[in-house]
Amino acid sequence: MKTLKPKRAGFFRMTPKKMIIAAALAAGVISIPILGVYGYLNITHNPNTATHLITLPASYAPAAVNAAQQRIMYALQREPAGYMLEQVNSQNISVPLGLLTNRFGADDSDIISAVKISPNYQYVAIDGSGDHGDFVWIYNTSTKSLSMTPSNAIGEFLNWMPDGQHFLFKPFIPMGPNPLAWNEGVWIVNAKDGSHVNVALPQNLTSSQLVDAISAPSGSSLLLSVSQGLGLGSEVWSMGVNGAQPQQMFNSKQIVGLFSWAPNGQRLAYQTIQDTDVAFQSGGLWLMNTANAQRTYVAAIDGGHGYTVSWSPNSENLAFVTRLNTSSQIANSQAGALISAIQNYSLLSGAVTTIAGPQQTGEPRNIQPNWTADNNLVFTSMSASSQKYGAALTSAEFWLVSAHGAVQTNSVTTPLFTIEPLTFANAANVSAMYDLQG
C-alpha cells in the first residue's frame, strides 16, 4: 500500500512524491488595493528563450452568462477502470460522460482535488492528483468531449478566468516533444484547445514556488502568492495578466489562501494556515475589503484539506467547513479522521451559524459547501475512513439547505442527491467533489 507523506503544511493536494501547497494570501498590512487596472496595451514577453516570443492579452473580461435554469451536479464515480465523470439531475438520474484518461482512479492513491464549472457554464474542470502525476481534464458541455488539458504538462488547476474560456494552471513537469511548450511561470490555458500563454512570475520565481493565483473580477490583473520553503512564509504579489507592473504587496509568516471573490467583487475571502509540517490543522477565514484593503477575521476554518469557501449569489453569505475535532492528533495526518461541520458567515449581521454537522447528517465529515444560483446551499456528508492517503473516499450524500433569506440553524432537509457506492476492492468509493449549475 502506498503512503504519501507531506513535505510541508499548507492547503495540500497530493502530487508526485510530495505534497504541494494549494493556496495563498497572508495576514499582513496591505497598503494598496489589489483591483488594479493595467490598461489594454499588449506587451511582448520572453519566457525562457529569445526565440519564443508570445504576445499576451491585457484582459480576460467577463463574458455574458447564459446558463440553463436547472440543477445539475457533476460528480466523479470511482470504478475499477478509473474515475467516471457523471452528470446527475434533480431527479437523481445519472448520465455517464466519460472515463478520465490514463486509468486515473484505478490506483488507490488517485484523488479528485477539485471539480469546477467555468463562469459561463461551458466547461467543467477536473483536477486529479496521484503519486504518478497531477492532471487536469476539461469536459466541454457543447461538444460532450472530455480530454486532458493541457496535454503537454503535468500540473494543477488553480482558478477559472472571468471570461470562462481560460483558466490559470501551475505547471509541474513538461510532457511531449516540444521543449518550447515548457516554461516556469503561471500558464493561462485556453479550455477549448489546450493552447496557453505563459506569464512570468515576479523576480524570476519558478512555478514550484507558486502557491496560488487568481484573476481579479475584471480579468485585467492577477493576485499571486509564492512561498520559497518551509518556515519562510509567503509573499503576495499583484500584477497585470500580461505580467505588467508587478508589485509586492506584503510578506507573511503564514501560508494563506484559497482565494475566493464575492460575486459583486467588493470582497476577497482567503484562508490562513500556520507554516508548519502538520498536514491538517485548523486555519483562519478572513475577508478583505477591496476598496480600502481592510482585513477582517471571520472564524476558525478547517485547514489543509483544500476545502474552498462558497459565496451566496447576493454576496451576503459565506459558507465554509470548520473542523470540530481540533485536538485529534490522528486527524492532523489522516484525511478520513476529520470531524467537521458546515458553517455560514452573514456579512449583514456578522453572525457565524452552524448549518449542519454530525448531529444533523449522521456522518462525521460534512464538507464541500456550495451556494447555488437559486440561493440554496448544498453540501456533502461522508463517513469516516481509515485510509492514510488520498481523499479517504467513502459513500457520499448530497444535502440541500433551503435558505429563505437568513440562514437558520438545523435547516437541513432530506438529501438532495444520494449516490449509491460501487463495490470496488471491498470498499465504497464515491468522490464527494462536485459543483452545481443553477
Instruction: Quote the number of domains for the chain.
Output: 1
Residue 46 lies in a domain: no
Model confidence at 407: pLDDT above 50: no
| Residue 392: closest CA among 318, 331, 350 | 331
Backbone angles phi, psi at 374, to 5 degrees: -95, 20
Task: Dump the DSSP string for 26-95.
Answer: -SS---S-S-----S--EEE-SS-TT--EEEPS--PPPP----SS-EEEEEEEETTEEEEEEEETT--EE
Looking at residue 325, its pLDDT comes to 95
Hey, which of 28-37, 180-189, 241-250, 423-432 has the most confident mean pLDDT?
241-250
Model confidence at 370: pLDDT above 80: yes
Q: Is the model more confident about 170 or about 57?
A: 170
Looking at residue 70, its pLDDT comes to 63
Residue 139 lies in a domain: yes
- Range 193-212 average pLDDT: 89
Residue 55 lies in a domain: no
Grid coordinates representing 239 are 500584477
Looking at residue 294, its pLDDT comes to 85
Residue range(s) defining the domain that contains residue 199: 12-38+73-437
- Range 161-181 average pLDDT: 79
Residue 265 lies in a domain: yes
Q: Give residue 329's pLDDT band: very low, low, confident or very high (50, 70, 90).
A: very high
Residue 45 lies in a domain: no
| Residue 309: closest CA among 235, 389, 368 | 368
In tens, the pLDDT along 414-436 reads 666 554 443 322 233 344 444 55
In tens, the pLDDT along 58-72 reads 779 997 776 555 667
Model confidence at 87: pLDDT above 50: yes
| Residue 73: closest CA among 438, 369, 317, 343 | 438
Tell me which of 53-67, 211-225, 234-248 is least confident.
Answer: 53-67
Residue 66 lies in a domain: no
The separation between CA 236 and the C-alpha centre of its own chain, rounded to angstroms, equals 18
* 8 A C-beta contact, residue 290 and residue 223: no
In tens, the pLDDT along 243-281 reads 899 998 878 888 877 899 999 999 999 898 888 888 898
- Range 373-399 average pLDDT: 76
* 8 A C-beta contact, residue 24 and residue 236: yes
Give the predicted TM-score (pTM) of the model: 0.81
Q: What is the domain-level CATH number for residue 132?
A: 2.120.10.30
Q: Give residue 24's pLDDT band: very low, low, confident or very high (50, 70, 90).
A: very low
Question: What percent of the chain is modeled with pLDDT above 70?
Answer: 73
Model confidence at 55: pLDDT above 80: no
Residue 205 lies in a domain: yes
Average pLDDT, the chain: 76
AA identity, residue 115: V
Looking at residue 29, its pLDDT comes to 24
Looking at residue 26, its pLDDT comes to 23
Residue linked to cell 506587451: 43
**Residue 317: enclosing H or E segment and its boundaries?**
strand 317-323
How far is residue 332's CA from residue 270's CA, in Å, rounded to a whole number?
Answer: 21
Looking at residue 109, its pLDDT comes to 79
Model confidence at 190: pLDDT above 90: yes
Residue 154 lies in a domain: yes
